[in-house]
Structure 1
Amino acid sequence: MIQTKLTAESDAWFLNDSPVSQHSYRRAMQTALEVIQAQFANLDKPYSGVPVNRLASLFRGIEICPEEGSDLETVLRHAGDLVLRHSVAVHHPACAAHLHCPPLTPSLAAEAMISAMNQSMDSWDQSPAATLLEETVIRWLCRLFHFGEGDGVFTSGGTQSNFMGLLLARNHYAHTRFGWNVQKEGLPPNGNQMRILCSEAAHFTVEQSAALLGLGKQAVVPVKTDGDYTIDLRDLDRQLRHMRSTGLHPFAIVATAGTTDFGSIDPLSELGDRARQEGIWLHVDAAYGGALAMSQNHSHRLDGIETADSITVDFHKLFYQPISCGAFLVRDSSSFDRIKLHADYLNPEEDEDLGIPNLVAKSIQTTRRFDALKLFISLRTLGKVHFSRMIDHTLEIARETAGMIDSDEKLESINPTPSLNAVVFRYIPDRTPDEDRLTRQNRINREIRQIMLSSGQAVIAQTKVEGAVCLKLTLLNPRTSLSDVHRILDEIKQIGAQLETQRGECESHVKHAGSTSHYAKLL
């Protein structure tokens, strides 16, 4: 009796071929769709503007797991009220802070398929068709980046891909230079002399990876950047000469194709030459800029990427995929031998002899999502021409935005010719005798960003350049127009002007923003 009841209930809670299951699934998905549309897709601001303390209060006292459950429709609608309506609306044209893209509708449909199938990408018998599709998409990616017969694996994003690039570089160097097997023997005795070179504008995950690999952050040697925020080759050569003369072991150069703040692309061909001359690994972090390979107008800016030993590319940035979705590519498929392991229950050696692919041998993850499907469906639906148009459009919007800023006496452009679609700038207040100019400028720019978020009018980023607090627009969204940007810049100048006056005189702007008490508290 109990077993019969549990089986009947399971039909309602698990997707299967029973009429009860399929009715329950359709109802759940339909309700979820209604909640998404009502509480998220229809948001008229990029953020609700609810401050952190008030939002946190909404979560206090929630019973996470009650003794008896509730109706699914009720639970979903409550989640909409609590979470969706107070989330950042990544699709909104005024959401322009980070490398945080609006996801394509085809990829959202794919996500529903991915979650329903729940394939695990670690072994063939958990993901047969999924394994073959991922391998097919990886081969296409290798051709896109001119890696010929290279190989790769899908990852959670740039952090994991950069880690894998330096993991393989470390193991390769230890084997070829020291005759040392890191997998079996741990770090070599002279591991504390191994060094990684990257520009001072490289992503923080280079240092993070060095620490996790047992080399320490001290293993990362930052190389100066030039006026375009790309790696200075003369300083790189100087660092290499110094290392050789002092007995250090440079084993990897990390090039960046799209720095986080400026989208700067290091000279890839020249770095490829240096890596070959030195006999060391070249890893290209193209998490941001890798999408230029899809552009008809800008793909040439990745010339030289084919000389890399490994590449990071993210799809949850300029490929417009839902988080998380990335890939790690290698030019030589045998590179994965440095991390390959066999588990009898998962990827026995006999499977390899039979030609059965088990992707776990190429990954530092075991259980892994079938993320290749959403990229595949998006690429097949839009095609390369449309992807190119979207990317090129956002780059053009960024260039025109930088021009608007450069011609405005109250704004200062930090990168007047954006390399990708990130525009860094700052509001310039008038100097007052009672406060240091930089201190005043930094304070006002910080407060501008906070007020913009608190009003819900725009989500913009803050960064620092040579000690100066700056604002940043990351214009990934193809729906963002110049008129949207113009409104954001006007709002920045209005807030800045109010901040330059006495705090008590800010009431008119506060009322205009529609959140008097919260604005007054911030100001």
Structure 2
Amino acid sequence: MSTPPLASGPQGPDALRPLLDTVLDALHEGAEARGGPLPAGGPEEVARRVRDAVGDVLPERGSEETLRILVRALAEGAADPAHPLCAAHLHCPPLAVAVAADLAASALNPSLDSWDQAPAASELEALVTRALARETGAAEALVTTGGTESNQLALLLAREAHGGVRLVHGANAHHSLPRAAWLLGLPDPVVVPAPAGTMDPAALCEALTEVHGPLLVAATVGTTDAGLIDPLPEIADLCAGRGARLHIDAAYGGGLLFSDRHRGKLDGLDRADTVTLDLHKLGWQPVAAGLLTVRDGHDLAALAHHADYLNADDDTEAGLPDLLGRSLRTTRRPDILKIAVTLRTLGRAGLGELVDQVCAHAAEFAELIAAHPRFELYDRPVISTVLFRPAEATDDDIAAVRRTLLHEGRAVLGRATLDGRRWLKATLLNPHTRPGDLAELLKLVEGHTPR
């Protein structure tokens, strides 16, 4: 067998071209075979089809047909976020231009742990992260794998800045925040009630009065369950009065920054010490595309690390950038390329239009639900998440409807429990969704609900 071609170098593009045709054909075939937002048959049937496609994972001799077979199998067995009835999670359909940029990043394969592995990519990351940091009123930003890593870094920087810290978060906070406190060996967090789905400022004031020591308050812009936004100005005022540090988890809602129409919902964001952003949610990027913005760049000194083979002192003194303090990871792919390409291709207006479209779709869906006699709407959407339930259904009925639609491959809806009741959740992130798609989704739920 001849030596397989490489993806980079002068011959790289020529080697990739026929393979790209194979991949694109296999993606099309797989989507056609799936025929809906996700594969029918449930976990056992999907697992069987994957096992049949893979066969021997490590055969004695390989096959050139493997790329087509496995890409087709993965596409047939995928949950397709570009399908209008795939609306359960903060799982966006990526933009074609971002995916194309991601291919280039994979082919070039820079690693952002030293300048000599990523000369251009390191400068591109510096330019783009600073520009995005300015959007939140911050000085610097780090690229992360997503909201979980960003929240962990926020707690770490707070701990190092203050020699220890106690986390205070709302009952509506993302699970990664208390998990980060556990991971970093911090005290158990103080949980502030969120009776209306957002942090209660009066309860936060009481907590800040009663709890001693350095505190980090974590607010949320776009809760996972309902897409709600904590009252940021009031929370920022309380933090300033108590001398507490403020972190804002805007993994979901941070994309509102691009919209002139919705940006005002983020008033107070610029008062945070750190902000989590996640552009593989309301930014239409392939996973991963997370960031943590940091208001005081000096806080990043806590991440400084020395490894002679990556950032020797004499190299740094000679002007080679030191990249180890930009992440807790060592090997890092250039996820910034797809972000940069998207920002420059669409501009603020183009991204803002996408944000406005999905928010408008959510408002339209809420109107459909509110006008339907057999459905109950939780509340008007703040971003692009809509909670609803069949009016006469039990909580068990709602769980069963969701699983039935999953098993049949007809629709992907999420679930949330608020006010002690179970709700179906539609998170609308597809700007190509049409009013007829929303009506079909409601009709499917109605048809599968016991009467």
Q: Is residue 368 of structure 2 the alignment partner of residue 400 of structure 1?
A: no
Question: CA 1:82–1:92 in structure 2 vs 1: closer, same or farther (change >3 Å)?
Answer: same
Q: Is residue 325 of structure 2 the alignment partner of residue 358 of structure 1?
A: no
Q: Is residue 237 of structure 2 the alignment partner of residue 273 of structure 1?
A: yes
The residue type equivalent to 1:458 in the other structure is A
Question: CA 1:136–1:15 in structure 2 vs 1: closer, same or farther (change >3 Å)?
Answer: closer
SS at match of 2:5: helix
**Aligned twin of 1:390:** 354
SS at match of 2:328: coil
Which residue of 149, 155, 165 corresponds with 1:166?
Answer: 155
Range with bigger deviation, 138-147 or 40-49: 40-49
SS at match of 1:463: strand
Question: Is the 8 Å Cα contact of residues 240 and 250 (structure 1) preserved in structure 2?
Answer: no
SS at match of 2:413: strand
For 1:231-380, what aligned pairs fall within 5 Å after superposition? 231-243=199-211, 248-380=212-344
Question: CA 1:88–1:31 in structure 2 vs 1: closer, same or farther (change >3 Å)?
Answer: same
Question: Is the 8 Å Cα contact of residues 50 and 86 (structure 1) preserved in structure 2?
Answer: no
SS at match of 1:470: strand
**Aligned twin of 2:28:** 37
Question: Is the 8 Å Cα contact of residues 30 and 75 (structure 2) preserved in structure 1?
Answer: yes
Question: CA 1:17–1:81 in structure 2 vs 1: closer, same or farther (change >3 Å)?
Answer: closer
Q: Is residue 173 of structure 2 the alignment partner of residue 143 of structure 1?
A: no
**Aligned twin of 2:38:** 47
CA deviations on 1:318-369 (whole Å, 9 max, x unpaired) are 1100011111110111111122111111122334434432222121111111
The residue type equivalent to 1:151 in the other structure is E
Q: Shift of residue 412 of structure 1? A: 1.2
Q: Shift of residue 58 of structure 1? A: 2.8
SS at match of 1:387: helix
Which residue of 182, 198, 201 corresponds with 2:169?
Answer: 198
**Aligned twin of 1:221:** 190
Mark the structure with the bigger radius of gyration.
1
Question: Is the 8 Å Cα contact of residues 385 and 428 (structure 2) preserved in structure 1?
Answer: yes
Question: CA 1:451–1:331 in structure 2 vs 1: closer, same or farther (change >3 Å)?
Answer: same
Which residue of 420, 444, 449 corresponds with 1:491?
Answer: 444
Q: Is residue 198 of structure 2 the alignment partner of residue 230 of structure 1?
A: yes
The residue type equivalent to 2:60 in the other structure is E
SS at match of 2:310: coil
Counterparts of 1:282 and 1:22 in 2: how far apart (Å)? 47
> TM-score normalised to the size of structure 2?
0.95
CA deviations on 1:188-241 (whole Å, 9 max, x unpaired) are xxx6xx42111110100111100100125x2x11111253x2211100011111
> TM-score normalised to the size of structure 1?
0.82
Counterparts of 1:38 and 1:58 in 2: how far apart (Å)? 15
SS at match of 1:341: coil
Q: Shift of residue 23 of structure 1? A: 4.0
Q: Shift of residue 261 of structure 1? A: 1.3
**Aligned twin of 2:90:** 99
SS at match of 1:10: coil
Query: What is the CA RMSD across the aligned residues, in angstroms?
Result: 1.8
SS at match of 2:398: helix
**Aligned twin of 1:505:** none
**Aligned twin of 1:10:** 3
Unaligned runs of 5+ in 1: 175-190, 430-439, 501-523
Question: Is the 8 Å Cα contact of residues 43 and 89 (structure 1) preserved in structure 2?
Answer: no
Question: Is the 8 Å Cα contact of residues 34 and 77 (structure 2) preserved in structure 1?
Answer: no
Question: Is the 8 Å Cα contact of residues 15 and 25 (structure 1) preserved in structure 2?
Answer: no
Question: CA 1:422–1:32 in structure 2 vs 1: closer, same or farther (change >3 Å)?
Answer: same
CA deviations on 1:280-332 (whole Å, 9 max, x unpaired) are 21111110010011001011111111111111100101110001111111011
**Aligned twin of 1:117:** 108
Question: Is the 8 Å Cα contact of residues 197 and 221 (structure 1) preserved in structure 2?
Answer: yes
Counterparts of 1:331 and 1:354 in 2: how far apart (Å)? 28
Q: Shift of residue 13 of structure 1? A: 4.6
Counterparts of 1:146 and 1:340 in 2: how far apart (Å)? 23
For 1:77-96, what aligned pairs fall within 5 Å after superposition? 77-96=68-87
Q: Is residue 417 of structure 2 the alignment partner of residue 448 of structure 1?
A: no
Counterparts of 1:392 and 1:380 in 2: how far apart (Å)? 19
Counterparts of 2:130 and 2:7 in 1: how far apart (Å)? 35
Counterparts of 2:318 and 2:33 in 1: how far apart (Å)? 52
Q: Shift of residue 11 of structure 1? A: 5.7
Q: Shift of residue 42 of structure 1? A: 8.3
Q: Is residue 383 of structure 2 the alignment partner of residue 420 of structure 1?
A: yes
The residue type equivalent to 1:472 in the other structure is K
